[in-house]
Amino acid sequence: MLKRTVRDIDVAHKRVLVRVDFNVPLDEDRKILDDLRIRAAAPTIRYLRERDARVVLCSHLGRPKGKVVASLSLISLTSRVAEVIDANVTFTQETIGPEAERIAAELAPGDVLLLENLRFFPEEEANDAAFAAKLGALADIYVNDAFGAAHRAHASTVGIAAHLPAVAGLLLEKEIDFLDRIVTAPQKPLGAIIGGAKISDKMSCLRNLLGKADVIVIGGGMANTFLKAQGRAVGDSLVEDDQLDTARAVMGEAEERGSALLLPIDVVSGNRFDADAEAKTETAGETADGWRIMDAGPESIAAYGAALSDCQTVVWNGPLGVAEFPKFAHGSAALTRLVAGLDAVTIVGGGETAALVRAAGLAGEFDHVSTGGGAFLEYLEGRELPGVAALLDAAAKHSGW
């Protein structure tokens, strides 16, 4: 990584403000449904505690839109954070200001403090300089370990770097290192699986992968647009008609640049968009009116497996179908097992895809399951992430070190 990391600084007895991504899903009773992001941040927190740092954690949760929303208070996460890091965690309803500064100043080496939701303040998302300065007053050093928020130019990801020496945490370093294996120096052959509903959401990612990836599998609703662009029947399937010319251009560019672009061979269609819809497997491109494509069929999965079998690196973002409906989740589930069994470096990104992997109990079989969704895609697009750009370069020094 071309940025300074927490390993490059002396944190002993220093107050370290760590931007974590604890934006975890909660149920109606505010119980955590998936603690992946908390567990992913644990190595950095442990690293700092083991070196007698005084740790101040800050995060957002949900979209309170600059207002205090009780159901989105980080107090509901405190006990789980404490369990994961095996240490006491103090929570404060303060985020900035004299009381927060007093509590942070009184921390002993190894103590951990969790601040209230950053997004209770509209100044956070506005990257307000004064708000960033108040955050900076809580600590001596800033560590960004929130990859999932690194594509946002907010006060806690970008503005803060004007007030404290800013470095990457262990999770952020790991995320970037794995993604660089795709974007910068992939071990070839490189395979990419891009699914999801809309081609417009993934177009920049697709274009950046053309020429880099030897095999690109197109799945999910976005595959319907490609099929229709070839003049094939897709019935009532989700299609972006304004992207048909773009899809044709991508297919032509893939051929020119030597990337094999794979579309479904067979599909599972439903007679309505419903979990209990009637389903049938049919040849791709032969879906009649009144039916809509909802999943990839078994012949498609077999073809994807054959094409990916020789790849040394495989990245996957986006399900192959309407995976939230069990009847139409078989293609995505089969692909999960297939990719988990490849003799390759396997990287998964995006909330839906990561959820598929965890639901199958196969997360441990993948080399990396990213904590980022938007940040993951933007990095694959070749874009610079503001939260990473704000950190000190590896060669940079700070007068206080």
**Any idea which residues carry the catalytic annotation?**
37, 198, 351, 374
CA distance 361 to 340: 10
- Measured at the CA of 387, the angle between CA 192 and CA 381, to 5 degrees, comes to 25
| C-alpha R_g of the chain | 23
CB atoms within 10 A of CB 25: 14
CA distance 224 to 81: 42
User: CA-CA distances (angstroms) from residue 361 to 43, 191, 315, 369?
Assistant: 22, 23, 18, 13
CA distance 313 to 311: 6
CB atoms within 10 A of CB 345: 19
Are 112 and 135 contacting, i.e. CB atoms less than 8 angstroms apart? no
Residue 61 CA to chain centroid, in angstroms? 15
What's the half-sphere exposure (Cβ side, CA atoms, 13 Å) at 342? 28
Residue 203 gets the label, from left (phi > 0), alpha (psi -120 to 50) or beta, of alpha
- Would you give the DSSP letter of residue 7? G
